[in-house]
Structure formats: structure tokens, C-alpha cells
């Protein structure tokens, strides 16, 4: 794998992992257009680590506070029932609950998901779904609510569905949070924090598929750095766009990419 190719794939992964445009869909389309082969598993999981680190860098303080809350938190039982010891402890538990649907779907339907990555028709349909939810998000711009168990479960289900190529994970989870009455920036924060264990989980799951370590360290470092930098930029950019109420505009781009993937499918690329 050449350095330029490694940098390009790293940039695509970093940007599209967090922008609501579907990283999986873009990687499939780029491979079809350029003739790039599927990158080695070791390179792929290196990019996953880079994007996870990008989220951790942006949300370092909050992740530290949530981690402390997890270990210090407790469920208090009294005559009135039970309650949690802190708001952050409650937040962590909702994050954990939201992870469950994606874990179940990922394990049960792994073979189907792997095959779907080579199907441009599925990618096109997934991108069309992403386009619809992005435009619909405009309807929920002014919600002011907080995360709760019900919205956490709904976001978790949306994340599980987004395993299908073409459906944006960030797009579907942020939209679902907004549709469940969450304030848009808080929905984005929850989505990004939820992505960390999912990305790390995907990294661990793919470790078993490594068949060779015969790849240049320079290639790995190039991919890692390019993915980390662009991932960090993408997170900051999306947070700013959401704050300005322009999240839905990504739907214009995903509509175009959906049509492009459909054309590639019918032309046999």
C-alpha cells in the first residue's frame, strides 16, 4: 500500500466517520471508482483507533468525569424507591444501555453486514435513508430536552441500524436524539461519546481477522495521523454546524452520493 493511498483512505475515514455522510458507503464507492482493494485488516483497525482517539481528545474532560462517575456512582434505595447518586452516573448507564442493540445486531448479522459492504445498491438505499433523516432533522431544531432511558434506547437502536452501509451512524443517532426531544448539541455530544466504545469494540472484534503483520510502519503511521487529524476536524466542524442549525444541509450531499452509487451499480462498476 502506497503512502499516498494510505493518507487518502485515512482522510476519508476520519472525515466520514463523524460527518453524517456514511464512512462505510464512501469507502465502498471510493474502492469502486479507484480500483483500490480492501485495505489490510491491520491498517483498517489502525484507522479505527485513530478515530476513537479523535473523539477522546475532543471530549477528554467529559470522558474523565463520566469514568469517575461510573466507579463512584451507586444506586440508592429508600422508602420512595430508588435513585442514582449523580446525573453523570445516570448518563453513563444510559450510554451502556444504548450500546446493547448494536452489539446484538453486530454479532448476529456480521456475515450479512460483511456481504452488504460490496453491494452498491444497498449503499445507495442506505444513503437515501440518510438523506431523508437529515432533511427531517430540520423539524426538530428547537427541542430543548435531555437524554433519558427511552431516548437512549432509541438512539441505540438507530446506531444498530446504521451498521448497514450507507446509513450514517452520526446522522441517524443525532437525528433520533433530536426526534426524542433532545437539544441538538446534546444529541450530538451523546452520539460522539457513544461512538467511542463502538469504534473500540469494532477494533477488538476485527483483531481475530488479522492474517498478516507484513505492512510498513510508515503506512500505518500515515493512515493513523491522517485519520486522527481529519476526524478531530470533522467533530469540531459538525458541532459548529449543528449549533448553527445547518445539520440538514448534509442531505444535499448524501442525495448526490446516493445517486452516484446507484449509477455505479447499474453501470456495473
pLDDT of residue 85: 64
pLDDT of residue 164: 87
CA atoms within 13 A on the CB side of 46: 25
Residues spanned by the domain of 164: 3-266
pTM summary value: 0.90
Residue among 268, 269, 21, 259 nearest 124 (CA): 259
pLDDT of residue 23: 86
Q: Strand 75-78 to strand 81-84: parallel, antiparallel, or no bridges (unpaired)?
A: antiparallel
Task: Using DSSP, state whether 76 is helix, strand or coil.
Answer: strand
The model's pLDDT over 44-65, given as tens digits with 9 standing for 90+, comes to 788 889 999 999 999 999 999 9
The model's pLDDT over 107-135, given as tens digits with 9 standing for 90+, comes to 787 777 777 777 889 999 999 999 999 99
Domains held by the chain: number: 1
pLDDT of residue 15: 92
Alpha-carbon span 195 to 144, nearest angstrom: 22
Neighbours of 91 (CB within 10 A): 23
The pLDDT > 90 percentage for the chain reads: 55
Amino acid at each position: 500500500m502506497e503512502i499516498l493511498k494510505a493518507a487518502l483512505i485515512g482522510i476519508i475515514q476520519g472525515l466520514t466517520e463523524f460527518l453524517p455522510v456514511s464512512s462505510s458507503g464512501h469507502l465502498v464507492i471510493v474502492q469502486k471508482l479507484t480500483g483500490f482493494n480492501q485495505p489490510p485488516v491491520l491498517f483498517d483497525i489502525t484507522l479505527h483507533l485513530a478515530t476513537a482517539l479523535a473523539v477522546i481528545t475532543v471530549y477528554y474532560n467529559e470522558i474523565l468525569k463520566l469514568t469517575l462517575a461510573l466507579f463512584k456512582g451507586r444506586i440508592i434505595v429508600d422508602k420512595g424507591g430508588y435513585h442514582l447518586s449523580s446525573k453523570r452516573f445516570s448518563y453513563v448507564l444510559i450510554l451502556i444501555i444504548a450500546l446493547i442493540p448494536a452489539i446484538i445486531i453486530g454479532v448476529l448479522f456480521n456475515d450479512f453486514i460483511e456481504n452488504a459492504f460490496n453491494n452498491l445498491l444497498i449503499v445507495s438505499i442506505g444513503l437515501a435513508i440518510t438523506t431523508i433523516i437529515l432533511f427531517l432533522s430540520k423539524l426538530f431544531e428547537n427541542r430543548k430536552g435531555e437524554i433519558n432511558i427511552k431516548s437512549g434506547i432509541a438512539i441505540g437502536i438507530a446506531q444498530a441500524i446504521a451498521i448497514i452501509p450507507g446509513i450514517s451512524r452520526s446522522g441517524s443517532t443525532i437525528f433520533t436524539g433530536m426526534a426524542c426531544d433532545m437539544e441538538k448539541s446534546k444529541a450530538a455530544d451523546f452520539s460522539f461519546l457513544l461512538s467511542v466504545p463502538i469504534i473500540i469494540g469494532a477494533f477488538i472484534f476485527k483483531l481475530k481477522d488479522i492474517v498478516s503483520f507484513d505492512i510498513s510502519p510508515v503506512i500505518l503511521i500515515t493512515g493513523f495521523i491522517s485519520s486522527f487529524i481529519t476526524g478531530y476536524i470533522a467533530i469540531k466542524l459538525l458541532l459548529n454546524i449543528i449549533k448553527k442549525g445547518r445539520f440538514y444541509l448534509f442531505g444535499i450531499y448524501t442525495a448526490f452520493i446516493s445517486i452516484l452509487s446507484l449509477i455505479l451499480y447499474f453501470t456495473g462498476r
